[in-house]
């Protein structure tokens, strides 16, 4: 069923789905254990960076999480009005041989979703998932939650732009997550203005993150393309 929902130009959004039952995945709660994160980050980045640059490494690891999870979730919600249960114990992730996240398997079948234009209702399950994962990684890696929410917002905006290019479905609910300053309960929306567009030196529109992802702190990772610190005195 999942593959049929990603026909034609939507196929690119299914690249991160693990549809082969024979392909091994690791349950998300297991991936978020200190011991597992220690092992995976050491495998990916090596002893020269682990654990000295742990906040940077956790930020980069979470980027892979957002890249795996968001594309299929956004498409099934915005295009098809459906959703997967996104509780942490319903998700499993495949691992690349180097240890990076390399695909997501949703453990429960899709159900009809709330077809609301209110972003915080439409994507309540996604936001709760991100909140729990960010809280866990922030505590483990001693990295500010705002850094990780910035990563989530960066990839959310990227996915919405890609979806707008191949579909004419309304995307207001998705973009609302980035445009609403406050949540319905009056608390701050951590995704607000995660991405802005400013005028560049040549008069062109320049995409810029609100918060830095810390990648500039590791030389071989380098400063990300949309870093808000361009021009600042950083290594």
What pLDDT, in 10s, does the model give residues 69-119?
999 999 999 999 999 999 999 999 999 988 899 999 998 878 887 677 899
Query: How far apart, in whole angstroms, are the C-alpha atoms of residue 29 and residue 129?
Result: 12
**233: alpha, beta or left? (left if phi > 0; alpha if psi -120 to 50):** beta
What pLDDT, in 10s, does the model give residues 16-29?
999 988 899 999 99
Phi/psi at 155 (5° precision): -75, -30
Residue 200 maps to a domain: no
Q: Total structural domains in the chain?
A: 1
pTM: 0.93
Site of tokens 């998300």: 28
Residue 226 maps to a domain: no
Residue 36 maps to a domain: yes
Residue 45 maps to a domain: yes
Site of tokens 């890609």: 162
What pLDDT, in 10s, does the model give residues 165-215?
999 999 999 999 999 999 999 999 999 999 998 877 677 888 899 999 988
Residue 168 maps to a domain: yes
Reference 118, options 66, 185, 54; nearest CA is 185
Residue 136 maps to a domain: yes
- CA distance to 97, 114, 159, per residue, from 189 (Å): 36, 20, 19
Residue 230 maps to a domain: no
Residue 217 maps to a domain: no
DSSP 8-state assignment for residue 99: S
Domain with 115, as residue range(s), is: 3-194
The CATH number of the domain holding residue 75 is 1.10.510
């Amino acid at each position: 069923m999942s593959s049929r929902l990603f026909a034609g130009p939507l196929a690119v959004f299914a690249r991160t789905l693990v549809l082969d039952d024979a392909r091994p995945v690791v349950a998300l709660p297991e991936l978020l254990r200190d011991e597992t994160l220690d092992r995976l980050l050491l495998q990916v980045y090596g002893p020269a960076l682990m654990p000295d640059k742990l906040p940077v490494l956790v930020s980069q690891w979470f980027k892979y999480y957002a890249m795996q999870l968001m594309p299929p979730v956004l498409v099934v919600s915005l295009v098809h009005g459906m959703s997967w249960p996104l509780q942490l114990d319903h998700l499993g992730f495949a691992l690349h041989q180097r240890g990076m996240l390399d695909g997501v398997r949703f453990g429960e079948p899709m159900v009809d979703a709330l077809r609301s234009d209110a972003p915080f209702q439409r994507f309540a399950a996604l936001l709760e998932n991100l909140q729990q994962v960010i809280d866990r990684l922030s505590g483990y890696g001693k990295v500010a939650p705002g850094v990780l929410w910035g990563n989530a917002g960066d990839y959310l905006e990227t996915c919405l732009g890609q979806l707008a290019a191949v579909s004419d479905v309304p995307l207001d609910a998705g973009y609302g997550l980035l445009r609403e300053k406050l949540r319905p309960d009056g608390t701050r929306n951590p995704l607000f203005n995660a991405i802005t567009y400013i005028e560049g030196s040549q008069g062109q529109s320049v995409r810029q993150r609100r918060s830095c992802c810390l990648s500039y702190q590791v030389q071989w990772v380098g400063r990300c393309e949309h870093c808000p610190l361009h021009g600042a005195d950083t290594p």
